Amino acid sequence: MAQSNDVILEVRGLKAQYRSPRGIVKAVDQVSFDLRRGETLSLVGESGCGKTATGLSILRLIEGLRGEIVGGQILYHGNDLLKMSSEKLRQVRGSKIAMIFQDPQSSLNPVLKVGDQIAEPIMLHMGLGKKDARARALELMKQVGIPFPERRIDEYPHQFSGGMKQRVMIAIALSCNPEVLIADEPTTALDVTSKAQIMDIFRHLKENKSMSIIFITHDMGLVADTADRIVVMYGGRLAEAGTVLHVFDTPQHPYTMGLLKCLPSISGSQTRLVPIAGTIPSLIDPPDNCNFNPRCPYVMKMCREVRPPEYQTAPGHRAACFLYTQFPVHSPGAVAGVA
């Protein structure tokens, strides 16, 4: 494992929102985490918990989707992406930080050959000519396991299956050797076999390329299989963060405990999946208390009145929950080695 303590991306107190006909949707509410060189960090939670909005905010792509970033910092090697000029940000997008989306169908241009779509960022960011960019596109298609790449490079997206389209998207994302890859539910639209094959590509990237990956998913099974560290999100906020080993072994936040109870046990000791009762909170005008309180079996009076800070429950492990008031409050950036 190529993981180190070398932090390359820091998200600090990020706040992002969408405009909707019903009001302002507070999609990300003061979320902080770090990404280190060579690690896979998973953002996990139910649909609508803010994990995709967080991924989109890192590259400021949320701004083109009726969204805006209203607070915080996103530091890439110490430079705040939120303060970067459009020109500088364009240089970072694709060549330094790339993103893969969950629906390859809508991300590919239907009237362009896949080879041209892979070659385009190579010519743009790496300055290669058409011939060399095509050769690199071919090499990338082989790397992500697209069969008969010499023939398929001149085919159009509609000639590819869902799994093969997602491989094309991964090839485009990898085209300029990015340092950070953000993968947003990259296997959601795929069948079981394609899903396993795509996850093999991610494992290979992590092990052989020392790439830092932010893996966004609602699937705790995939997290256990691929991630080093985990950030559990609930209702746009961070509920818990820590190493996968710690969080799976000793989950601190009642929401994480609930998510893990939903997982089938490998040993077979857990025969029934236990769903979390209740529904996710509305992100329009959310009250400033613990947003998990209507679903929490441990709810106390203060949980309905005040928002809990994040408590440092162990080195590198924190939880936003009043069950841990005996631990110090976590301040983003103040504690070395914190998720």
The values of phi and psi at residue 217, to 5°, are: -155, 160
CB nearer to ligand SF4: pick between 2 and 299: 299
CB nearer to ligand SF4: pick between 72 and 258: 258
- CA 194 vs CA 23, 167, 190, 306: distances in Å: 39, 10, 6, 45
User: What mask, x for binding ligand SF4 by CB under 6 A, covers residues 254 to 293?
Assistant: x-----------------------------------x-xx
Does 171 bind ligand SF4 (CB under 6 A)? Our answer is: no
Ranges within 112-141 binding ligand SF4 (CB under 6 A): none
Does 234 bind ligand SF4 (CB under 6 A)? Our answer is: no
- CA 203 vs CA 163, 197, 249: distances in Å: 17, 10, 22
CA distance 303 to 99: 36
Does 303 bind ligand SF4 (CB under 6 A)? Our answer is: yes
Ranges within 236-255 binding ligand SF4 (CB under 6 A): 253-254
CB nearer to ligand SF4: pick between 196 and 302: 302
Cα-based angle 205, 104, 97 (whole degrees, multiple of 5):
45
Does 311 bind ligand SF4 (CB under 6 A)? Our answer is: no
Does 16 bind ligand SF4 (CB under 6 A)? Our answer is: no
Joined together, the tokens standing for residue 277 give 């009762």
Beta strands across the sheet bearing 237-243: 97-100, 180-184, 212-217, 40-44, 229-234, 237-243, 317-319, 311-314
Does 101 bind ligand SF4 (CB under 6 A)? Our answer is: no
| Element housing 2 (H / E) | none
Sole window of 111-119, 260-268, 317-325, 331-339 interacting with ligand SF4 (rule: CB under 6 A): 317-325
CB nearer to ligand SF4: pick between 18 and 292: 292
CA distance 199 to 75: 28
CB nearer to ligand SF4: pick between 243 and 293: 293
Does 98 bind ligand SF4 (CB under 6 A)? Our answer is: no
Q: Which residues of 217-252 are buried (b: 16+ CB within 10 A; e: fewer)?
A: bbbbebbbebbbbbbbbbbbbbbbbbbbebbbeebb
Return all residues near 269 (Cβ < 8 A) that are at least 6 apart: none
For ligand SF4, the binding residue among 38, 157, 258, 308 (CB under 6 A) is 308
Does 99 bind ligand SF4 (CB under 6 A)? Our answer is: no
Sole window of 126-134, 185-193, 203-211, 298-306 interacting with ligand SF4 (rule: CB under 6 A): 298-306
CA distance 167 to 155: 14
Does 104 bind ligand SF4 (CB under 6 A)? Our answer is: no
Does 196 bind ligand SF4 (CB under 6 A)? Our answer is: no
Q: Can you give the binding site for ligand SF4, defined by CB under 6 A? A: 253-254, 290, 292-293, 296, 298-300, 303, 308, 321-323
